[in-house]
Structure 1
């Protein structure tokens, strides 16, 4: 791992400082750094567009939080470049180490003493008329939701071509196990262990209270068709949005690739839940 991509949370001075300290720590070693443009311009070093970094890197180190990691995971996509998340504070479910741990832990990465954990991703294809108009990937979730002032909308759900139900709701969340502690959790969905190969469908404020979340094998293909409604959007990881129309069909399935995270600790997911969600307090 000689080519190191570095991405910092945008607009966060603490992230830029962490990048500067990291580059200084390794400047005398035989590494090539690919620092994204915004942080690089502040540090007065050569920078690269964020979208170009995965193709140049053997590893990407993300200084920020879960949101920054989600954006990088989507960019990495099928390239399979491993990601190490450095948490700068706040709620972090997928960051691996804190900024204070970087100095003593980073050597494990370059000495081969680290492990890897793979997480499934989702692909969402939107069909309008006879053709596909967009395709996006997501690590956390694919969400169909309405704008702030619009009413409930109606959608038909099919799984593997079989009709499931017609939902009237404020929205629908299709989540990976990684994303089960995000938007889906706040909508009443269960927590899935992050390495499970399954996904979760969670209605948002459904008109019928018996419309409950359901966990499905990740080999299934879910299709949602917009039957009624207006101002409806498809959102990916809460970061990328696309407007939908009546009769649009959205097919959601597991991607053929996974996100690879670098693991430096013997991770105890239940400890993470106790710490982040305050279980037992």
Structure 2
């Protein structure tokens, strides 16, 4: 099922909360230039404490910034935006990505576009896309429960390079496959252009509500094909015999021991991404993946 683009708009556009690409103090002049552009349009700018320390300025606690801001801004690449979406999920604030490098799948406002984008934002010429997110938890054999939220994917692999894992997968409590190989990816449509794509999984339109289940270097080709299932299904995974880890968006890692079960479901609320009205996903695919480029 694909969600149609919503007509949702920001309640007000007075305050923006910023985070910056981590470990990049050289981004300070760029941030100051963009901050001045926001303020020239009457939008106050707040900077998260961690980002502020990195460039020698004062900031505010991330949670306070999320609570006070009308919308949030990541200045960096897709990884910076990914982190911001996950960390701010509980506040459900719309997020816009300003790309400080190459064109991203998520952070699609270029540095040259900032001023024009702000003008369109203030005149209502933008859209807010609702992207599916994963909400899950790991039920430890000890009885402990570890909850997590993911925007791109959950990946089960071995903690040791070149070691295989065996992952048993069930839907609604019914076993449907056992995957033996280098790992298993459970991706959202947004994450379908990340590790899933590298592993040979399909690209899925980002407003679709579905899970993409893709094995990584499967040891058997007979029954180890990518699978797309509706987002209202719940998926249970457990690692058998081998040590394994679960990586959440490549930013959080949990150990999976035999007897632990990882549960995955679609989150009740998605991520809200602000885009230019004319933003076209297929144009981004064409540029990023060089579709139709005879010289590639």
- The TM-score with structure 2 as length reference comes to 0.88
2:20 aligns with one of 8, 31, 41: 8
Displacement of 1:205: 1.1
Q: Tell me the equivalent position of 1:58.
A: 70
Distance 1:14 1:110 in 2: 29
Distance 2:38 2:180 in 1: 55
Q: Tell me the equivalent position of 1:196.
A: 208
Q: Tell me the equivalent position of 1:77.
A: 89
Displacement of 1:30: 4.9
Q: Tell me the equivalent position of 2:225.
A: 212
- The TM-score with structure 1 as length reference comes to 0.93
Q: Tell me the equivalent position of 2:285.
A: 273
Contact 1:14 1:88 in 2 (8 A): no
Corresponding residue SS for 1:73: helix
Per-residue CA shift, 1:209-242, capped at 9, x if unaligned? 1210000000000000121102x21111111111
2:187 pairs with 1:187: no
Displacement of 1:14: 5.0
Q: Which shifted more, 206-215 or 104-113?
A: 104-113
Distance 2:35 2:282 in 1: 33
Q: Tell me the equivalent position of 2:260.
A: 248
Displacement of 1:90: 2.4
Displacement of 1:114: 1.7
Per-residue CA shift, 1:50-77, capped at 9, x if unaligned? 3543222110111101000110110121
Is the strand fraction higher in 1 or 2?
1
Count of residues in Structure 1 that have an aligned counterpart in Structure 2: 280
Change (3 A) 1:44 1:187: closer
Distance 1:30 1:44 in 2: 24
Change (3 A) 1:128 1:44: closer
Displacement of 1:37: 2.3
Name stretches of at least 5 consecutive residues in structure 2 with no aligned partner.
1-12
Q: Tell me the equivalent position of 1:20.
A: 32
Distance 1:141 1:122 in 2: 8
Name stretches of at least 5 consecutive residues in structure 1 with no aligned partner.
none
Displacement of 1:150: 5.6
2:46 aligns with one of 31, 34, 37: 34
Corresponding residue SS for 1:257: coil
2:60 pairs with 1:48: yes
Q: Tell me the equivalent position of 1:140.
A: 152
What's the Cα RMSD here?
A: 1.8
2:266 pairs with 1:226: no
1:116 aligns with one of 128, 138, 155: 128
